[in-house]
Homo-oligomer: A and B are copies of this chain.
Amino acid sequence: MTDTPAELLSLRKSIDNIDAAIIHLLAERFRCTQQVGALKARLKLPPADKGREAVQIARLRKLAEDADLDPEFAEKFLAFVIREVIRHHEQARTNADGP
């Protein structure tokens, strides 16, 4: 016998399924940005692109609003992911410059 209500267990099952889906999408996203990083390193493009980021932010805020997700959270989420991507790109650039 458990002291966790059945309704809570059911919601947690949905949350776990959604998290698994998000983790796999993030894995695929980093596969893409890894290719972007390699391409930018090869073409000597800067790791960050402020113009592209502004377009991404505006787009995701709009998508979030339409889905009843707090647009501020969507923007914070993108910033969180981009920080990680920039870190990867800088590493790729360092590796490409190499000793």
Residues of A at the B interface (CB closer than 8 Å) are 5, 7-8, 11-12, 14-16, 18-33, 35-36, 39-40, 43, 45, 52, 56, 59-60, 63-64, 67-70, 73-74, 76-78, 80, 84
Contact = CB atoms under 8 A, between A and B. Distances in A.
B29 A18 contact: yes
Contact of A60 (B8, B19, B33, B67): B19
Contacts of A33: 11, 15
The oligomer's copy count stands at 2
A40 B12 CA distance: 13
Given A16-B56, A16-B59, A69 B26 contact: yes
18 contacts: A5-B43, A7-B39, A8-B36, A8-B45, A11-B32, A11-B39, A15-B36, A18-B28, A19-B56, A19-B78, A22-B29, A22-B77, A23-B60, A23-B67, A23-B77, A24-B63, A26-B74, A80-B80
